[in-house]
Every structure is written in C-alpha cells, then in structure tokens.
Amino acid sequence: MLEILRRNSGGDWGKYSALLDPLSREEIAQSVLLMREYESSGHGWFWSTDSHGRITYISPRLVAQIGFEEGQLIGRTLGRVFVEDREIERAEDDDGRARGLKIYLAGRKAFSNIVIHTQCGKFDQRWALSGHPQRDNDGRFAGYRGHAVDVTEQYRSESEASRLAMFDSLTGLSNRHRLTSQLDREMKVCVAAKRSCAVMMLDLDRFKAVNDTLGHQAGDELLKQVAQRLRNLIKDEFELGRLGGDEFQIILPDIDDRGRLADLGHSIVTHLSQPYSVDGNRCVIGASVGIAVAPYDGITSEELVRGADLALYAAKGSGRGQFRFYSSELHDKARERNDIEEALRDALQNEELSLHYQPFVHQENGKVAGYEALMRWQHPKMGWIEPSKFIPIAEETNLITSLGEWAIRQACRDAAKWPNDVSVAINVSAAQFQQEGLAAIIGGALAASAIDPARLEMEITESVFISDMERTDKLFRDLKKLGVRLSLDDFGTGFSSLSYLGRAPFDKVKIDRSFVVGSTEEGSRNPAIISAIVSVAGALGMRTTVEGVEALDELALVREKGVDYIQGYLFSKPLTQDKILEKQGSGEWVLEAKGPSRNRAQRLSVLRKIGVIHGDYRYEVRMRNLSRTGAMIEGVSDVPVGTELVLDLGEGQLAVATVRRSEGDVQGVEFETGLVNDGADGLCTRFRISPYALAAAGMPLQALPPGAYPLAENVPATTESRPSFETRTFADTATRRGSD
C-alpha cells in the first residue's frame, strides 16, 4: 500500500504520509490485503487522478479485464478511457438540476453512481463510478480519488424493464406510452420551430373474424406478421407502434405533402391486404388508415390524434380498405353516420329500399345479357342515401344478413318477369356469405320465383376466403348443387390469387374498373393485366366481365382483349324494374355505346362555394366541377384569359390557377400544380398553406379561408383594396362593383 501511494503521489508524499501516520503497520497491511481482495473479486475497482485529470492509479485487474497491459492507462484522462452511459442515482446540484460526469469533473464536485462503460476493449460491462475531489494542505485541488462497482446485471435488468415499459411485448413495436411521449415531444417542436408533423392511425379490417374462427393464438401470430410488413414499409424513417388490439400508429415528423402521405396510405392498405399464412391457414384481412397533419388539423397531440381517429372512422365507414385525410366535415359525417345507422334499422320495415339494375352486354353486339342488382335507399327525410354510406354500416351492425336476404328474394322475383335468357347478378358480402343457411335462403328464393337457377349469378369477393376454408368449400358445393352460377368479383385488386380460381367453382371473373381507368394512356400496364386475366379465365373455362367502361377508347381496348361481357355507363346507368320492363319487354334489347371518345382526367361534379383571391381581395364564387388539372368557377365577370388567381378550396388549400377560358361570369382555370387523391374519391391540394407561412408572408387575414389561425395571431391586417372584377350574387343576377 505504501509503495502504491509513493508511486502515485506525484511528489506530494507528505499529504498521504500524514493520512497514514495514525495507522499502525498492521492496520496498513490489513487495509492493503482488503483492497487487493476486493480488487481481485471483480466486483469493483479503485482509481485516482491528478489535478489535471490524468489517471494516477487504476486497479490492475480492471486494466487487464478491458484488454490493456499494466501501466498503459496511467497518464490518460478518465474521459479518454470511459464514457458515461446513463445515471442510476445521478446526484443533483443545489438548484435540483442533474448533471453529467463531464460537468462534475469540470466543476471539481463529488459525484456518485454515474454509470460508465469503456470506449475501448470490452463493451458489455457497466460500472457505477463514484469520486471525491481531493485538496492539499493549502486547499488547492489535487485530483480525484474514487471507486467503481460492477452494475452490469443491474443495468441489463433495468434496460430490459425500460424496454418492456416502452415497447409492445407481442410485436416489438413502440407501445402506447412511448408513442404518446414521442408525439408530445414532436408537437412541442412543431409549434416552437413552426414545423409540420403527420399522424397515421391504422386499424385492421376483418381481424375479429380471424380471432373468432382460428383462435387468439392465431390472431397474435397474424399481428406479428402485420407488424413485420409495416416495419418493411416504414423502416426506421418514422416512429411506428401498436396502440393495442389491432390498432397501430405512425408518427411522421416534418411531413405535410399529402401526395406523399396518400402514396404511403395506399401502400399500407395494399401490403396489409395481401394474404397471410397462419398455422397452415390462409388468412386475408385488410386495413383502413386515417391521416391528420399539424398544424392544419391541430397543434396539440390530443387534437392531432382525435383528427386521425375521426379520419380512420370515416375510412372504415366508407367501405374499409381505404385511407382518409382529416377534414372539418368529418364531424358532420360522423353525426350523419349515427343517423343512418338508426334509420337503417327500420328501412326494410318501412319499405324504403329498392333494387336498381345495371345491364352488362355481350361485347360483340351490345345485346343485354343480364343485370347486376344494386341496392338503393330513399329515406323520407335524408333523401337518397348512397350504398357506399349504408352498406358498410349494415355490415358492422349485422343488418347485412336481413338486407341481403331481402335483396336475393326481390331480385329473383324481378328476374322472373324478364326474358328467360337474361340473368341477374347479386352481390354477396363476406359477412352474408358466412351466415348459416345462405344456401337454403337462395334455394327458397329460386323456388318462390320459379326462375331457372342458371339465371342467378352470385357475385362473391375474395374476402370470403378469409378463413375456415372447409366451411367455405362446403358452401360452394351447396350453391353449385342448386345450379346457380358463381362470379369472382373485383378480381385483380388487393389480395387476388390464382389459387382462388383453381380451387373455387367459379363460372365468371369480373375485372375491376381500376384496370380500365388509364388503360389507354401511353405506358399503362393495365392492358397487359386485362389480357392475362382473360387468358387465365379462358383456360379455366370461365367467362369474363369488365366493369366501369365509360369511354369509347376503353371499349375498343377491352373488346380487343377478348372479354365476354362489358358493363359501364357507356351503355347504361342502373335502371329501375319499371324501366327495364318498358325497354326490354319480353324480347331482346341491344344497347348502343354512347359517351366520350376518351376518358378525361377525373372530373368531379360539384356545386359549392369557394373563395378566389386576386391581389389582396377575396371573392365568393361557385365551383361547378373539379379535376386534377383544373376547375370551372362562376360568379366573377370580366376576367381576362391569362389572369392568375388563387383558389381557396378550404382548410388551407390554396391553389394557384390561370384563367384559360372566360365567358361572362364563368371561367375555366388550370392549376399550376395538379391536385392529388384525397382517399375519399375526391381531390385535394398536395400541400396546404401553413398559418406560419401566411403570417410570415404578411397575408391579410381577411383574405384567408374561414377558420382558426392560432399561430398567426397579432399579425396586422393590411388595408383591403378595391376588387378588379364584377361579382354576381347567387340569389339573383344583379351585379355590383366592390363595396359600392
């Protein structure tokens, strides 16, 4: 012990000698033995530095343990050998603030239990380091003396506990607690740094059916596979986590490009809808996605999550397997959905439902071959309610079984009045397909109507293959015994598989409209896909119907590819039974193709008020149609061709446009940047104008879209100028100029 002190005293032996004077030789020897025994045990080690922070002593066993020769670490600074990992019991200053190792050393203060690991040699050990500053007889700082305790096992245990507290034990993704903390931090940065942040809420469609039919163990395995697919899509770019059950969340900092978000939302829906193999069973589920973006949809984590949840709710309510962006209109739609659910329970009893029929024709001559039955609902107060609104609600509330049974019976009764060579096709939802006694219901409807079973075609989507293939195969056999025909609907979308065609006794394949849209554009791969489906179906002895043909160039293409039947607005919209009996009678009916020569860019018929900004003046106008590339507006007169306008489409959507056609108070405008899909069969701007940017640009607040701009407060409004163009009120044809 004395020799060690002499060797490491740095010439200041007197200080240590004074400390040891009271000790007897036996006590000194005993202390040395205890120190050596402690160092040899590997539980801890001693260290000391000089006033410049250089190591003057470190236990030899520790030196060898981390891969150095004795004496190699002498003279190095502590920070060159060890690095702080985290604190177990980090000491605090008088003001209560915790500080790190470097801060303590620089301040020459005592510290304890700061966890460190070596920067070289072995990395799998952790020590809790403690140290006390030393002073000489004159009170000058003379360095540190201290010790360290091996806390490797404790560290691993605490690290695992911390990991379990922050990550989902089933999937390994971030859990709700971690996601909430992360989003809170991101939103603080978003507000402070005037940045954006998006949140995606995901919910699996038809997951409950897997749990109910295959058991919870299979459900857990399916969730693991879903998590892995999401990891492959998201990678480490964004924060991905599982909230619980079949709900997931993604946090996307610094993203407000709705085109990019729409692409990701579509990719998630597509990838999660591909088939899964679970315990030897083939499972098919889907996903719905809701998206909200700060600061447009909220500036707190609670507001953003609430908006994404509402968007998710809208996606599920619109048929599932979709993504939706949040908008303020969703609050009204949520209330509307509740009203629809309540009214739907009495719709059948009140005889508010009816069937309309859309023809499908022979491709070579346009002769009507049959009709697809489509359910329609006219409520006495709400008017016509779209099937896309009430069918998903019916499926969620199990009302679909009674609605489906009514539709089968009614369609058979109506078909009995048609020519004997004209068939009727009825859609069967996955929920309806799983109900007990479906074959008996169909058999009863055939018997009551006395129609030939071969005239009844049941259109079935691929979602019926979700589980329990034995039961599904039995139902197929029962239906074929009845003599009805089976059609695989929407083939080619989502999770299509050729194995369905080989396994199930289908008579027909319906090619989805998504392969028709854009099929005549240069570079499109859709024609090749249509050809492939037609070839496979033909080889298996199946007919093909292509749906959604709306232009003459599309008609020419599908005829060239050899499809058997064609359905679409080019030939006819859905018809009432009375109209069919009037036109069809008891004989043949040939429909002529009538429509545009080619399909134009998606154009939505709309009628709503929007704002038009020119200079710093804002006009109220009506928008009558909207496409990706432009719109038609009315309400402003004397607007020269070539004039640049800014269309305020609401909620921060400001689109720069140029007037390309102007006739009276009607203008056709072309957008500088094309619109993108909003996930609801509508269009939206790729970017929205942030209130941060509006405030920074000095935009007059009276020229902004209606709404709250909490982050653009105290911005002085500029003086409003006089308008450049005449405006027309919509109540009459009177015109006014400015504020006269």
pLDDT in tens, 219-257: 999 999 999 999 999 888 899 999 999 999 999 999 988
Rounded to an integer, what distance in angstroms lies between the CA atom of residue 306 and that of residue 309? 5
The mean pLDDT value of the chain amounts to 82
Nearest to residue 496, comparing CAs of 481, 483, 512? Answer: 512
Residue ranges, comma separated, of all CATH 2.40.10 domains in the chain are 603-736
Q: Which of 56-60, 180-184, 495-499, 549-553 has the lowest mean pLDDT?
A: 495-499
Local confidence band at 706 (pLDDT 50, 70, 90 cut-offs): very low
pLDDT in tens, 425-475: 999 987 788 777 899 999 999 999 999 999 999 998 877 765 567 778 888
Between 57 and 468, where is the model more confident?
57
Residue ranges, comma separated, of all CATH 3.30.450.20 domains in the chain are 2-157
For 503, half-sphere exposure in the C-beta direction (CA atoms, 13 angstrom radius) is 13
The alpha carbon of residue 551 and the mean position of all alpha carbons in its chain are separated, in whole angstroms, by 33
For residue 629, pLDDT beyond 60: yes
Lookup: tokens for 655: 């689109």
Between 445 and 1, where is the model more confident?
445
Provide the pLDDT for residue 518. Answer: 81
Rounded to an integer, what distance in angstroms lies between the CA atom of residue 506 and that of residue 457? 10
Local confidence band at 97 (pLDDT 50, 70, 90 cut-offs): very low
Angle, alpha carbons 302-303-304 (nearest 5°) = 95
3-state class of 404 per DSSP? helix
Which residues, including other chains, have CB under 8 Å from residue 693's CB and lie 6 or more apart?
A: none
pLDDT in tens, 313-370: 888 877 678 899 998 778 777 788 888 889 998 998 899 999 999 999 999 999 999 9
CB 584 within 8 A of CB 571: no
For residue 515, pLDDT beyond 80: yes
Q: Has domain 167-327 been given CATH number 3.40.980.10? A: no
Rounded mean pLDDT, 406-421: 95
Q: Residues of the chain with pLDDT > 70: what percent?
A: 83
For residue 717, pLDDT beyond 70: no
Provide the pLDDT for residue 161. Answer: 62
Looking at the domain covering 603-736, what would its CATH class be? mainly beta
Provide the pLDDT for residue 709. Answer: 43
Provide the pLDDT for residue 137. Answer: 87
For residue 696, pLDDT beyond 60: no
Lookup: tokens for 482: 């009845």
List the CATH code of the domain at 2-157. Answer: 3.30.450.20
Lookup: tokens for 317: 């309510």
346-583 fold: TIM Barrel (3.20.20)
The alpha carbon of residue 623 and the mean position of all alpha carbons in its chain are separated, in whole angstroms, by 30
pLDDT in tens, 670-679: 999 888 887 7
3-state class of 10 per DSSP? coil
pTM of the model: 0.57
Residue ranges, comma separated, of all CATH 3.20.20.450 domains in the chain are 346-583
Lookup: tokens for 274: 């591909």
Provide the pLDDT for residue 16. Answer: 47
CB 446 within 8 A of CB 482: yes
Provide the pLDDT for residue 3. Answer: 46
Phi-psi sector, 654: left (phi>0), alpha (psi -120 to 50), beta: beta
Provide the pLDDT for residue 712. Answer: 42
3-state class of 393 per DSSP? helix
Angle, alpha carbons 244-247-253 (nearest 5°) = 105
For residue 174, pLDDT beyond 50: yes
Rounded to an integer, what distance in angstroms lies between the CA atom of residue 525 and that of residue 724? 48
pLDDT in tens, 264-314: 999 999 899 888 888 888 788 889 999 999 988 888 999 999 999 999 988
CB 489 within 8 A of CB 457: no
Rounded mean pLDDT, 408-417: 96
User: In which residue are the tokens 């410049």 written?
Assistant: 52
Local confidence band at 119 (pLDDT 50, 70, 90 cut-offs): low
For residue 156, pLDDT beyond 60: yes
User: In which residue are the tokens 């999937």 written?
Assistant: 171
Query: 237 φ, ψ to 5°?
Result: -70, -35
Rounded mean pLDDT, 102-107: 85
Between 725 and 269, where is the model more confident?
269
